[in-house]
Structure 1
Amino acid sequence: MQDTYKHKGMRKQLIDQLRQKGITDERVLTAFEAIPRHFFLDLVFEQQAYSNVAFQIGAGQTISHPYTVAFQTSILELKRGEKILEIGTGSGFQTCILCSMGMKVFSIERQKELHIKAKGIIDHFRFTPKLFFGDGYEGKETYAPFDKILVTCGAPFIPEKLVKQLKVGGMMVIPVGDLDSQEMHRITKISDTEYKEEVFGNFSFVPMLEKTVR
């Protein structure tokens, strides 16, 4: 895998686009500059890797638009060293963005093919998140509570098990809706029985799948 001056130039152009679209968190933008997105795509898409578009990555899944990744990351209001549960490892790009920002990442992927492929790419960067093959609806109670939870696939509802695994004061960002469109929700846990919910507009994600894994 090569990261040339041309790739770095395209990343800078992408970061300019993200700024223009309202991403102001410099830590997020610095992470985007540090992580070559083209490493996570097939070679045929290398020249388009820094366009603000999503791409197929196998198993019917996609790598999200750069703006979507940046937006979700920004509204989580991350603090260095926080413990983050990511639902949907996918290509591993979002995982690497979080690791680059200094987070302790726990990531779950339900598609075996993607779980294995993402691990190889993440290892290349020498990041050490804990990666799991399993059902994201279940979360990872063994490692709870989490400071933040990031769901990178569209959920038909807010999973109660995930809310329970948030620490009081923690946040979860999750797209909620049907197969065609979801609204981005941010859940802030006020107490063990109370939480605040905010909505940040419409997005489109692949669905969050449940039950059996393969």
Structure 2
Amino acid sequence: MVLLAEDDPAIADPLSRALQREGYEVEVVADGPSALEATAEQRVDLLVLDLGLPGMDGLEVCRRLRASGTELPVLMLTARTDEVDFVVGLDAGADDYVAKPFRLAELLARIRALLRRRVPEVLESGGIRMDLGARLVTVDGREVQLANKEFELLRVLMTRAGQVVSRDEILAEVWNDLESKTSKTLDMHMSWLRRKLAIATEDAGGKQADGERKIATVRGVGFRFNAE
């Protein structure tokens, strides 16, 4: 469950809906004491924490959580952009820090990155196996050599197998830089990844076309990893 501690409905409502569309269970609270109470009473996988909460600010909430010994991932949101505030937030125990206004795709990518620590070390679907710790990919038992970005692309898609992942979300999570990276960059790396999976599928006794179809293009939206 993702706990969203944000007192501004103009931010909390659309962000909550976006998280629910991603498949997360979401609870929204609007003040610091309620955030602390919710983390104590429920199983929370991630806390998205506004710095300027009423009742108790985000820094104090974070400090109290860390003092209690919890390792709950905390993503802090703030309208402040001063580097000192950024450092203070991290010193208080936040795992990541996003300044408002933020791009939704980038924020969702940061959230997935923090939740990844709870993702199994091995992803397996459709004959493809990813050992995230060893950074090893096999197709029907045969190892596939992937470059770093190709590996990350496959990880993003397999983590959400069967779901469409938008181009902006992939760019934000794999390159973490929406300004300098373009869809052309993404298409180029995706083409290389598809080709390597196709060759590996053929080497394993399957049809190259089957390997190419593992990753489907959803026109105008993004890509989907086909689990079957």
* Fold agreement, TM-score > 0.5: no
TM-score, length-normalised on structure 2? 0.30
**Structure with the higher helix share, 1 or 2:** 2
Structure (1 or 2) with the larger CA radius of gyration:
2
Structure 1 or 2: more strand by fraction: 1
Higher relative contact order (CA 8 A, sep 6+): 1
